[in-house]
């Protein structure tokens, strides 16, 4: 339930540890938890990936269906991202329509995928102005142990990276073909804990956090999306330092997503 | 079979009595159950059943939200059955639909029939079922997952609840329908059994069969449930295995 | 439940539980028939027509005149006199509501504290998010859990950290006769207070807290096997910081001693039978 309370003793302890460069689970401030990607988890999806970061688990599923392109982009397909923070995954989530938290996750993931031109949407055009592929990215949070955004984004990327366009099934082409991933954006999330800024926050660290920043980078050196969340503030210098860290982590996250795609 | 409309309707049963996926009429699809699959729920289970993948989580007994649902003498059991958008061939729009709400209701009532809810007045036991990959029989797979999750959550109840669909396809009474049999068969009859009492706490039917066929179907379903019951028990024994490790003498 | 009318023999799993009056650990599942051997159905069981069945997943335990099942999982189920750690979730005019990990929030009335609280001033004493050590005073049939902060070792917690373990594992965390908890405090010099509800308060320097947290994780994940105390002890020895890395000298023994009153409620094993059959095959058994 939303009125789950975290013990102040715990959040205070998290902050004290951070002041000494330490963390509750023994990690360094610039260290991710163990990451795993299981592509093809769902056979009914055109692409899917189950991503675990520590005890956080997010399942992404891709569905491609023919539809009508937007009037202002008649030569492009449509990409749409949706996240479900289902109450199965955490005592803090309630049943019902998507809450702002779920909408934020889906929009932040969507922005990185879109801005990095992860997939070339013009290749999803079938008949200009008439017919194009709609690519649905559905994010299903299964276990909420913190840092949902990075897990969801990596799941989305992993799912896209091995998705198939079901052209044969819909009578659009003779055979299905791989959805080509052009760029590999990776999202990297930090939280402020006092003066320390740590990467890949756990649930308890998010509860103690004084500001969160997500930075998406791609493999050709672009910053493609950012999102500051939670109550708290960062200086421009903080942001610059996090950008450097995000690029370093991005390399590793991309490799994990690509490895899963191979 | 095999003349008119043969293009659309597959042959569901061979003359030798073999089904479209190679099973005999009384044979279940492979079932794998993992108890305690999630970290943050009070109890959980993941069920792979044929081509179905279903996750269930239980939270509670805990404070009731919304509060007006609180019952003075017992726990309220709230169930939410949901299908992921990508779990079916045609993408399902996220959100509530009438089918999911009906399933949630009959599943909740099945559990109310076995859970000793009066031990926890004014609380809620919340059961969440997420279908991640669907291939016929998801309500039964969901019920089985939720039942193992309830046991994993330490909820007191009369028994685990094995469930299976029986039905009629290709003229034969069969157990555990797959998607083709569900789509093209003559009847679908999901049921859940309380093994301890031998009674049914979930029973639905769609299609048509004679009373003799129904009698056969019920027997076949009970037999199927008993097989599933053993798999459920084994999943819980595996998780809570108390096998002592022999001491190695130094 | 109606009477049992089945005729044929009851089907049992290959490892179906057989009676073990010797006290050997037997895992039973809801719906499994228990050989009652004339004993009455106790907690975690139910009776239908002369037969007794388990209602929860747990370990079979004969406690003449009762046969019962000790749960191995689930939320904390309060018992009178349990000492528990709770966190304030709501503040009302005359009481606070505590999350103690139980099915319901537990009201702590202002008269159940050592403070002279006036009506409406409750928030000056305890705010949402603060944690306390309280004792379960009474349970009523509506599920209300009355708790009090009056008594030795009870009160508001300041500093340190909180770790959650499964309430079913509390007997392991404490150990037989308090052996496990003593090992942990001796090896780390930390103050440790274990609530019966599985919330553990740990105080000390950050390194000590971390080592206690890891030890508790080991117990949580590995509590079913034997030799646990030895493995926890060996972990704690191996992680002792270099300046105190000698053999067995208890670091900060004085502080451990000084803090005894606070940890004491947990250091003594729970008084009743709940944990008993949970123990025989654990640590020092062989």
Of A252, A258, A41, which Cα lies nearest the Cα of A142?
A41
pLDDT digits (tens, 9 = 90+) for C69-116: 999 999 999 999 999 999 999 999 999 999 999 999 999 999 999 999
Q: Is the pLDDT of residue A2 over 60?
A: no
Q: Within a domain: residue B52?
A: yes
Instruction: Enumerate residues 6+ apart whose C-beta is below 8 A from B3.
Output: none
What's the per-residue H, E or C state across A128-174? CCCEEEEEEEEEEEEECCCCHHHHHHHHHHHHHHCCEECCCCCCCCC
Residue pointed to by tokens 């309500």: B139
Regarding whether C273 and C166 lie in a shared domain, the answer is yes
> Please, what is the angle between helix C260-267 and helix C179-188, to 10°?
150
Residue C252: per-residue pLDDT: 36
Q: Do C129 and A22 touch (CB under 8 A)?
A: no
**Domains of chain A with bracketed CATH:** 17-261 (3.30.230.70)
CA distances from C34 to A149, B17, C62, C66, C68 (A): 48, 41, 11, 12, 9
Q: Within a domain: residue B147?
A: yes
pLDDT digits (tens, 9 = 90+) for B190-206: 999 999 999 999 999 99
Per CB-CB distance under 8 Å, the chain B contacts of A95 are: 80
Residue A3: per-residue pLDDT: 60
Regarding whether C140 and C246 lie in a shared domain, the answer is no
Regarding whether C168 and C142 lie in a shared domain, the answer is no
* Mean pLDDT, residues C28-40 taken together: 93
Q: Do C201 and A24 touch (CB under 8 A)?
A: no
* Mean pLDDT, residues C55-60 taken together: 96
**Which residue among A46, A55, A59 places its CB closest to the CB of B132?**
A59
* Mean pLDDT, residues A132-150 taken together: 97
Residue B7: per-residue pLDDT: 55
Query: Rounded to the nearest 5 degrees, what angle is found at the Cα of B170, between the Cα atoms of B167 and B171?
Result: 70
Residue B208: per-residue pLDDT: 95
The enclosing domain of C62 has a CATH number of: 2.40.50.100
In percent, the amount of chain A with pLDDT more than 70 equals: 98
Total number of domains in chain C = 3
Task: Out of C41, C73, C105, pick the residue that ends a domain.
Answer: C73
Q: Most A CBs within 10 Å: which of B84, B87, B101, as the mutation test of the A interface?
A: B84
Q: Is the pLDDT of residue C254 over 50?
A: no
Q: Is the pLDDT of residue B99 over 50?
A: yes
Cβ atoms of A213 and A203 within 8 Å: the answer is no
- What is the pLDDT of chain A when averaged over all its residues? 94
Regarding whether C148 and C116 lie in a shared domain, the answer is yes
Regarding whether C151 and C113 lie in a shared domain, the answer is yes
Q: Is the pLDDT of residue C24 over 70?
A: no
* Mean pLDDT, residues C183-206 taken together: 95
Q: Within a domain: residue B117?
A: yes
Q: Lowest mean pLDDT: which of A152-166, C24-38, C235-249?
A: C235-249
Report phi then psi at A252, rounded to 5: -70, -45
* Mean pLDDT, residues B107-123 taken together: 97
Q: Do B116 and C59 touch (CB under 8 A)?
A: no
- Both structure tokens of B227: 């097989």
Regarding whether C167 and C272 lie in a shared domain, the answer is yes
Q: Is the pLDDT of residue C8 over 60?
A: no
Of A139, A135, A166, which Cα lies nearest the Cα of A153?
A139
* Mean pLDDT, residues B131-154 taken together: 98
* pLDDT class of A262 with cuts at 50, 70, 90: low
In percent, the amount of chain A with pLDDT more than 90 equals: 91
Residue A197: per-residue pLDDT: 98
* pLDDT class of A84 with cuts at 50, 70, 90: confident
Can you give the residue range of the structural domain that contains C118? 83-156
Q: Do C105 and B63 touch (CB under 8 A)?
A: yes
Q: Within a domain: residue B40?
A: yes
* Interface residues of chain A, partner chain C, Cβ below 8 Å: 3-13, 16-17, 20, 22, 24, 26
Q: Is the pLDDT of residue A46 over 60?
A: yes
Q: Is the pLDDT of residue C12 over 60?
A: no
CA separation for the pair B30, B163 (Å, rounded): 14
Residue pointed to by tokens 């590999």: A184
Task: Out of C140, C156, C172, pick the residue that ends a domain.
Answer: C156
Q: Do B38 and A45 touch (CB under 8 A)?
A: no
CA distances from C114 to A143, B226, C109, C150, C151 (A): 41, 57, 11, 6, 9
Q: Do A142 and B130 touch (CB under 8 A)?
A: yes
* Mean pLDDT, residues A145-166 taken together: 96
Query: Rounded to the nearest 5 degrees, what angle is found at the Cα of A185, between the Cα atoms of A182 and A188?
Result: 170
Task: List the single residue in A with minimal CA-CA distance to C158.
Answer: A9
Report phi then psi at C165, rounded to 5: -125, 165
With contact defined as 3+ CB pairs under 8 Å, the chains touching C are: A, B
Residue B66: per-residue pLDDT: 86
Residues 96-115 of C with CB under 8 A from A: 99
Task: Return the higher-pLDDT residue of C273 and C58.
Answer: C58
- Whether B62 contacts chain C with CB within 8 A: yes
Q: Lowest mean pLDDT: which of A116-120, A257-261, B137-141, B197-201?
A: A257-261
Residue C25: per-residue pLDDT: 80
CA separation for the pair B168, C161 (Å, rounded): 60
pLDDT digits (tens, 9 = 90+) for C119-145: 999 999 999 999 999 999 999 988 899
Total number of domains in chain B = 1
Q: Is the pLDDT of residue A170 over 50?
A: yes
Per CB-CB distance under 8 Å, the chain C contacts of B197 are: 1-2, 4, 6, 48
Q: Is the pLDDT of residue A179 over 70?
A: yes
- Both structure tokens of B120: 């926890």
Q: Do A5 and C99 touch (CB under 8 A)?
A: yes
Per CB-CB distance under 8 Å, the chain C contacts of B198 are: 4-6
Regarding whether C165 and C152 lie in a shared domain, the answer is no
CA separation for the pair B210, B204 (Å, rounded): 15
Q: Do A57 and B38 touch (CB under 8 A)?
A: yes
Task: Out of C126, C156, C186, pick the residue that ends a domain.
Answer: C156
**Which residue among C5, C57, C286 places its CB closest to the CB of B154?**
C57
Task: Return the higher-pLDDT residue of B232 and C14.
Answer: B232
Q: In sequence order, what are the beta bridge partners of A62?
A: A47, A137
Q: Is the pLDDT of residue A67 over 60?
A: yes
Can you give the residue range of the structural domain that contains B42? 31-238
The enclosing domain of B118 has a CATH number of: 3.30.230.70
* Mean pLDDT, residues A92-117 taken together: 91
Report phi then psi at B181, rounded to 5: -65, -35
- What is the pLDDT of chain C when averaged over all its residues? 80
Residue B3: per-residue pLDDT: 43
* Mean pLDDT, residues A199-220 taken together: 97
With contact defined as 3+ CB pairs under 8 Å, the chains touching A are: B, C
Q: Is the pLDDT of residue C262 over 70?
A: no
Of A102, A262, A119, which Cα lies nearest the Cα of A185?
A119
CA separation for the pair C87, A36 (Å, rounded): 34
pTM: predicted TM-score of the whole model, two decimal places = 0.90
Q: Most C CBs within 10 Å: which of A9, A27, A193, as the mutation test of the C interface?
A: A9
Q: Which one-letter DSSP state was computed for residue B102? A: H
The enclosing domain of C255 has a CATH number of: 3.30.1370.10
Residue B74: per-residue pLDDT: 96
Report phi then psi at B194, rounded to 5: -95, 100
* Mean pLDDT, residues A156-168 taken together: 95
Regarding whether C132 and C215 lie in a shared domain, the answer is no
Instruction: Enumerate residues 6+ apart whose C-beta is below 8 A from B140.
Output: B49, B163, B164, B165, B190, B192
Q: Is the pLDDT of residue B55 over 60?
A: yes
Cβ atoms of A84 and A138 within 8 Å: the answer is yes
Q: SS3 for C108? A: strand
Q: Do B65 and A136 touch (CB under 8 A)?
A: no
* pLDDT class of C37 with cuts at 50, 70, 90: confident
Cis peptide before C65, with omega less than 30 degrees from 0? yes
Q: How many CA atoms lie within 13 A of A154 on its CB side?
A: 32
Regarding whether C90 and C61 lie in a shared domain, the answer is no
Regarding whether C179 and C251 lie in a shared domain, the answer is yes
- Whether B7 contacts chain A with CB within 8 A: no
Q: Do C201 and A11 touch (CB under 8 A)?
A: no
CA separation for the pair A83, A60 (Å, rounded): 9
């Amino acid at each position: 339930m939303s009125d789950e309370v975290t013990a102040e003793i715990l959040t205070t302890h998290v902050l004290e540890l951070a002041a000494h460069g330490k963390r509750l689970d023994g990690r360094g401030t610039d260290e991710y938890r163990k990451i795993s990607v299981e592509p093809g988890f769902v056979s009914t999806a055109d692409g899917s990936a189950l991503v675990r970061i520590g005890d956080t688990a997010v399942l992404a599923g891709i569905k491609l269906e023919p539809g009508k392109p937007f009037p202002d982009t008649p030569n492009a397909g449509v990409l749409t991202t949706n996240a479900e923070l289902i109450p199965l995954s955490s005592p803090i989530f309630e049943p019902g329509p998507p809450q702002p938290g779920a909408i934020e996750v889906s929009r932040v993931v969507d922005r990185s995928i879109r801005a990095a031109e992860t997939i070339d949407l013009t290749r999803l055009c079938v008949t200009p102005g008439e017919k194009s592929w709609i690519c649905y990215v559905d994010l299903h949070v299964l276990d909420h142990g913190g840092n949902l955004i990075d897990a969801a984004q990596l799941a989305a990327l992993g799912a896209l990276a091995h998705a198939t366009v079901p052209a044969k099934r819909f009578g659009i082409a003779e055979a299905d073909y791989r959805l080509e991933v052009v760029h590999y954006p990776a999202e990297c999330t930090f939280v402020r804990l006092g003066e320390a800024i740590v990467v890949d926050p756990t649930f308890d660290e998010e509860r103690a956090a004084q500001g969160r920043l997500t930075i998406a980078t791609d493999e050709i050196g672009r910053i493609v999306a950012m999102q500051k969340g939670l109550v708290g503030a960062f200086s421009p210098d903080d942001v610059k330092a996090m950008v450097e860290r995000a690029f370093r982590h991005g390399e590793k996250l991309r490799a994990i997503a690509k490895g899963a795609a191979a | 079979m095999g003349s008119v409309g043969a293009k659309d309707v597959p042959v569901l049963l061979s003359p030798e009595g073999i089904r479209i996926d190679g099973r005999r009429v009384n044979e279940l699809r492979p079932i794998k159950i993992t108890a305690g699959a999630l970290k943050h729920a009070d109890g959980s289970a993941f069920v792979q059943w044929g081509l179905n993948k279903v996750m269930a989580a239980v939270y509670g007994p805990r404070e009731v939200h919304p509060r007006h649902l609180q019952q003075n003498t017992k726990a309220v059991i709230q169930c939410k059955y949901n299908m992921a958008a990508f779990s079916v061939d045609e993408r399902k729009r996220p959100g509530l639909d009438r089918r999911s709400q009906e399933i949630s209701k009959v599943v909740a009532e099945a559990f109310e029939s076995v859970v000793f809810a009066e031990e926890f007045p004014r609380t809620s036991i919340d059961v969440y079922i997420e279908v991640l990959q669907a291939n016929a029989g998801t309500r039964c797979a969901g019920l089985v997952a939720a039942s193992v999750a309830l046991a994993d959550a330490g909820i007191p109840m009369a028994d685990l609840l094995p469930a299976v669909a029986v039905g009629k396809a290709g003229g034969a009474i069969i157990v555990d329908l797959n998607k083709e049999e569900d789509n093209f068969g003559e009847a679908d009859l999901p049921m859940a059994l309380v093994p301890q009492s031998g009674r049914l706490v979930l029973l639905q039917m769609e299609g048509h069969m004679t009373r003799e066929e129904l009698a056969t179907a019920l027997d076949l379903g009970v037999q199927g449930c008993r097989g599933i019951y053993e798999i459920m028990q084994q999943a819980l024994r595996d998780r809570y295995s108390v096998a002592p490790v022999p001491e190695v003498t130094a | 439940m109606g009477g049992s009318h089945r005729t044929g023999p009851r089907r049992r799993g290959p490892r179906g539980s057989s009676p073990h009056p010797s006290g050997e650990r037997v895992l039973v599942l809801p719906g499994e028939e228990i050989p009652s051997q004339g004993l009455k159905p106790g907690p975690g069981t139910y009776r239908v027509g002369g037969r007794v069945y388990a209602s929860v997943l747990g370990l079979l335990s004969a406690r003449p005149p009762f046969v019962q099942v000790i749960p191995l999982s689930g939320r904390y189920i309060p018992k009178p006199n349990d000492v528990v750690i709770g966190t304030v979730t709501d503040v009302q005019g005359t009481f606070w509501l505590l999350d103690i990990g139980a099915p319901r929030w537990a009201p702590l009335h202002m008269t159940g504290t050592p403070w002279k609280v006036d009506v409406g001033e409750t928030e000056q004493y305890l705010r949402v998010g603060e944690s306390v050590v309280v004792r379960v005073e009474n349970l009523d049939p509506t599920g209300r859990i009355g708790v009090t902060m009056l008594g030795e070792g009870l009160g508001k917690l300041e500093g340190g950290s909180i770790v959650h373990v499964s309430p079913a594992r509390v007997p392991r965390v404490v150990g037989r006769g308090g052996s496990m908890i003593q090992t942990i405090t001796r090896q780390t010099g930390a103050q440790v207070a274990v609530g019966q509800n599985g919330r553990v308060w740990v105080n000390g320097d950050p390194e000590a807290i971390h080592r206690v947290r890891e030890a508790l994780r080991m117990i949580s994940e590995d509590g079913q096997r034997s030799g646990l105390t030895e493995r926890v002890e060996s972990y704690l020895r191996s992680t002792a910081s270099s300046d105190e890395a000698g053999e067995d000298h208890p670091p900060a023994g004085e502080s451990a001693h000084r803090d005894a009153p606070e940890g004491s409620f947990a250091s003594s094993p729970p008084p009743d039978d709940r944990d008993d059959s949970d123990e025989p095959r654990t640590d020092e058994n062989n």
